[in-house]
Amino acid sequence: MHFSLVAESLLPALIVIAAGYALARLVGLSPVTLNTLLRYIFLPVYLFMTLEARMSFETFSFVALIGAAVVGVGVLIHRNAHRVLKNQVDASVAIPNVACFSIPIFALSWGGRGLGTACAFFVGVSIAAFFIEKQKFVKLLREPWVYAVAAAILAKEIRGAELPLDVVLSPFMGATYPLLLLFLGASLHPFEGISDINAWVTAVLRVGGGFLVALLGVSVLSVSPAIAAGAVMVSMAPPATKSLSLVGSAKDTPTSKGPANVGLLVSLTVFIIFLSTGWKPW
């Protein structure tokens, strides 16, 4: 795809991100409200509708496993990077921003490809992060997305005719993308990390490490080229703060904002390079 076409496809998403940032800066738009709406209503509905319609349980399991592996390797990078690097690598190196970056970008700028893969990847990332943080199991049961995913899997197995819920829930699908991007934009304010070398190192390790793990995963597991493409692309999402992950605590650490901000620039650059060059290492 020509560079100008790639830039044009990204323009709608970038405009909404910029709008979210401007609203946060000029009128004090609170990311907290958007986080609540997305976490408890829009994202669970979106996960249910997407996974129920797009993906078999076997493929879902493979992609979720790759997502979990990306988190595991990210944790190892965070814990051992000091042995070879002088820079401080933030813990967000382990958590890709699937919800607020990959899902809306795939929908608006990649022709809707990879959305089911991104949702399954989100599940694997979220479960792995939950166990690595050693949280009590009951906290996982408080997450709305858990029930949405379980319902999607069951509906996929037993579905005969069109579910009556589709008519009710479909409007939420279209509203999810701009809300995710508005939340991402609002979370960028104030923009920090541009001059912080530690933030850049964290972002590059997050994107590069995810790419290598996903590439290995799709070469080992039996997945279609379309699933492989989605898994590799979603693995290169930027680092996520706790609030941007839309899972668990919404309290961000002071050191995670910089990597999340500059990581957005890194991931967008990588996305443009892949689409404009047509490189398909998978």
- Beta bridge partners, 239, equal 96
Amino acid code (one letter) for 181: L
Q: What are the boundaries of each domain within the chain?
A: 3-188+195-277
Domain 3-188+195-277: give its CATH architecture.
Up-down Bundle (1.20)
CB 272 within 8 A of CB 10: yes
- Using alpha carbons only, what angle is made at residue 114 by residues 219 and 154, rounded to the nearest 5 degrees? 95
Letter string b/e over residues 58-75, b meaning 16 or more CB atoms within 10 A of that residue's CB: ebbbbbbbbbbbbbbbbb
CB 21 within 8 A of CB 185: yes
pLDDT in tens, 25-71: 999 999 999 999 999 999 999 999 999 887 888 999 999 999 999 99
pLDDT in tens, 61-90: 999 999 999 999 999 999 999 999 999 999
Q: What is the pTM of this model?
A: 0.93
pLDDT in tens, 201-260: 999 999 999 999 999 999 999 899 999 999 999 999 999 999 999 997 768 888 999 999
